[in-house]
Chains A and B, each alone.
Chain A
Amino acid sequence: MAVHKRSYHAYAGELTPRWSRFLIVSRYAFQNALASKALSAYFALCFSYPLGCALALYANHNQRLLALFQTSSFFDVNARLFFHFLGVQGMLGFILTAFVGPGLVSPDLANNALPLYLCRPVSRAEYVLGKMFVLFALLSLITWVPGEMLFLIQSSLAGASWMVPNLWIMGSILLGSAVEILVFSLLALALSAWIKRRLAAGAALLGVFFFGAGFGQAINAVLRTKYGFLIDLANLLARVEDQVFRQHTSIGIPATDAWVALVAISAFCLLLLEKKVRAYEVVRG
């Protein structure tokens, strides 16, 4: 169908592998997300803390600098440092999710675009995976990727004597980040699928986080219990990371309960997505 001929004819060329189609959804979603200059600037800002940490690690092993301040080290490098690193990056990641997440599914629903995606050899799961991959990639780049790089920098500076006993921290960084990324992504997509207005979906995401924390504290205070934490997403994630990084915790619920609550929240988000990500909704009655 050459432009100058302007007549219809079939396509007889090669096709891309079926497994890779969800990445097309991701690519276009990336383009849309990164079209915002404010978002690009914020994303760049998210690398300032890892960069600062890398410089601090370097300074901590710089003999001239240490001699100048007449100390053997400025700070201890252990699991606590990486735990705090992930805490800061997790918060930045949540704000990034609130920026990007609502724009992933809600415009497609508002414009009735889902039949156009789903009438092609792309399943609903692949569509969701494609959209979620955007958040996976962006959040990975500011959480576990710099975290592991910091670990490797510290290992190269401190040597095998530090690295070998602390090797488990690598797994903790990966697991802790994965939990955060999965929960943030599922929550953002579920809200994006149920709230057609992008701004409202972003506000709802912040609301779930902060109102959940407020209600949780209120439940704890009124009922004199600790189970209000179960609706406090920030504390649930913190409790899980306390365990993953083997830290002392001040959150009064068992880690198992926090894991179960996070799994339940994720399952609920998947259910919400399953209900909403459809070519056409069926009206009952």
Chain B
Amino acid sequence: MNSGMAPVIELDGLAVTLGGRKILEDLKCSLSGRAIGLLGPNGAGKSTLINTLLGFYPVARGTARVLGCDIRTEMKQIRALAGYMPESECFIAHLTAVSFVRLMAELSGLPSDAALERAHEALFYVGLGEARYRLLGTYSLGMKQLAKLAQAIAHGPRLLILDEPTNGLDPPARQRMIRLIREMRDSRDLHILLCSHLLRDVEETCEEVLILKDGHQVHYANLEEERKANRRFLELETLGGDGAFAEAVEHLDCECAVAGRRLKMILGQDFAMGDLYRLAEEHGVQIRRLNYRRDSLEDIFLKAMESHNGRP
């Protein structure tokens, strides 16, 4: 869906059935952004999709390709190219952070010395440099999240899969995690697949977003293009004047809907706020309330949830 770049993830009629229940149904899309968001309410199938892409769950129908490798036949290649940060708390309690990250890097194929070097680097990078010789069992939840991120990047993956990376983090720790994700995205050395039910996390980091509901794909949005389109909205509440103000506003570069003293406007590229204030002054109108906003991911998400009941 993003032309010009080789697809990172291609879903080709992918369906997954677990324990007799259909969890994912007929997912079809091609995602090629540097950072791809996977959104949906709880139970939408986001984690199942990630786990299927990593070969943890069997495919019932269709297939998918990750960086060009088919998940049915080339799983080892996919796992060699990917780094995965799971949602749940998972670690090896008796190991220090540096031993843990080194072990994970070695399992991904790095020689022992290189793995040790990368483990130190990754832990410093995520901000655990000073605590890297502590046992993982003694880490706080936020530190464990960072250690999970370190093990996911230590071997230098081409695709980093993050499953709810900000779960359980306090606001400063969340900010730190988001900053790291952005930095890695901007390094252009890897692609990121971020799975989250937190719209803000996805909005702050991703270029593309795939929204799932009840195992179905309900919406795809290219956030980059949405941002470039720069759709802006204005809600006004006025006092005084007559209907002439509303008529005059309609001649500005915008689409306008009038409901009594309230005006809802979709602003065009050349709309200037100064013109609005000038018209208000000319018509003797008081602007009592002005609400200005852009088309946020929340709007996209809510529209997708409302317009689709999750069934094809």
Binding site for B on A (CB under 8 A): 1-3, 6-16, 18, 21, 24-25, 28, 32, 35, 107-108, 110-123, 278-280, 282-285
Provide the residues of chain B in CB contact with A113, threshold 8 Å: 90-92
Bound together, the chains give a CA A9 to CA B125 distance in angstroms of: 11
With CB as the reference atom, state the residue of chain B lying closest to A127: B107
Judging by beta carbons under 8 Å apart, are A115 and B84 in contact?
yes
Interface digits, B78-103 against A, CB 8 Å rule (1 contact, 0 not)? 01101010101111111100010001
With CB as the reference atom, state the residue of chain B lying closest to A32: B94
Bound together, the chains give a CA A101 to CA B60 distance in angstroms of: 36
Judging by beta carbons under 8 Å apart, are A3 and B129 in contact?
yes
Provide the residues of chain B in CB contact with A8, threshold 8 Å: 125, 153, 183-184, 187, 189-190
With CB as the reference atom, state the residue of chain A lying closest to B107: A120
Interface digits, B32-67 against A, CB 8 Å rule (1 contact, 0 not)? 000000000000000000010010110000000000
With CB as the reference atom, state the residue of chain B lying closest to A120: B107
Q: How many A-B residue pairs have CB under 8 A?
A: 132
A1-B122, A282-B57 known; A11-B155 Cβ under 8 A:
yes
Provide the residues of chain A in CB contact with B90, threshold 8 Å: 111-116
B43 CB to nearest A CB, Å: 13
A280 CB to nearest B CB, Å: 6
A92 CB to nearest B CB, Å: 26
Bound together, the chains give a CA A12 to CA B157 distance in angstroms of: 10
Judging by beta carbons under 8 Å apart, are B92 and A115 in contact?
no
Judging by beta carbons under 8 Å apart, are A117 and B156 in contact?
no
Judging by beta carbons under 8 Å apart, are A115 and B19 in contact?
no
Bound together, the chains give a CA A67 to CA B84 distance in angstroms of: 72
> Which segment, of B109-117, B202-210, B213-221, faces chain A?
B109-117
Provide the residues of chain A in CB contact with B197, threshold 8 Å: none
With CB as the reference atom, state the residue of chain B lying closest to A20: B109
Given A8-B153, A11-B118, A116-B86, list of 13 further CB < 8 A pairs? A1-B122, A7-B187, A8-B125, A8-B187, A9-B187, A16-B111, A18-B109, A114-B90, A115-B84, A119-B86, A122-B79, A279-B51, A280-B57
Judging by beta carbons under 8 Å apart, are A115 and B109 in contact?
no
Bound together, the chains give a CA A112 to CA B175 distance in angstroms of: 26
Chain B interface bracket (under 10, 10 to 19, 20 to 34, 35 or more): 35 or more
Provide the residues of chain A in CB contact with B187, threshold 8 Å: 7-9
Query: Is B124 interfacial (CB 8 A cutoff)?
Result: yes
Judging by beta carbons under 8 Å apart, are A1 and B121 in contact?
yes
A3-B124, A9-B187, A10-B190 known; A117-B91 Cβ under 8 A:
no
A84 CB to nearest B CB, Å: 38
Provide the residues of chain B in CB contact with A112, threshold 8 Å: 86, 88-90
Provide the residues of chain A in CB contact with B82, threshold 8 Å: 119
Provide the residues of chain B in CB contact with A283, threshold 8 Å: 19
Provide the residues of chain A in CB contact with B125, threshold 8 Å: 1, 6-8
With CB as the reference atom, state the residue of chain B lying closest to A13: B114
A27 CB to nearest B CB, Å: 9
B216 CB to nearest A CB, Å: 20
Query: Is B200 interfacial (CB 8 A cutoff)?
Result: no
A47 CB to nearest B CB, Å: 27
- 8 A–B contact pairs at CB < 8 A? A1-B122, A3-B121, A10-B190, A13-B114, A16-B110, A35-B94, A112-B88, A116-B86
With CB as the reference atom, state the residue of chain B lying closest to A284: B19
B159 CB to nearest A CB, Å: 11
With CB as the reference atom, state the residue of chain A lying closest to B89: A112
A1-B121, A7-B125 known; A21-B91 Cβ under 8 A:
no
Query: Is B158 interfacial (CB 8 A cutoff)?
Result: yes
Judging by beta carbons under 8 Å apart, are A16 and B56 in contact?
no
Bound together, the chains give a CA A108 to CA B90 distance in angstroms of: 9
Bound together, the chains give a CA A7 to CA B186 distance in angstroms of: 11
A2-B121, A120-B108, A282-B19 known; A24-B103 Cβ under 8 A:
yes
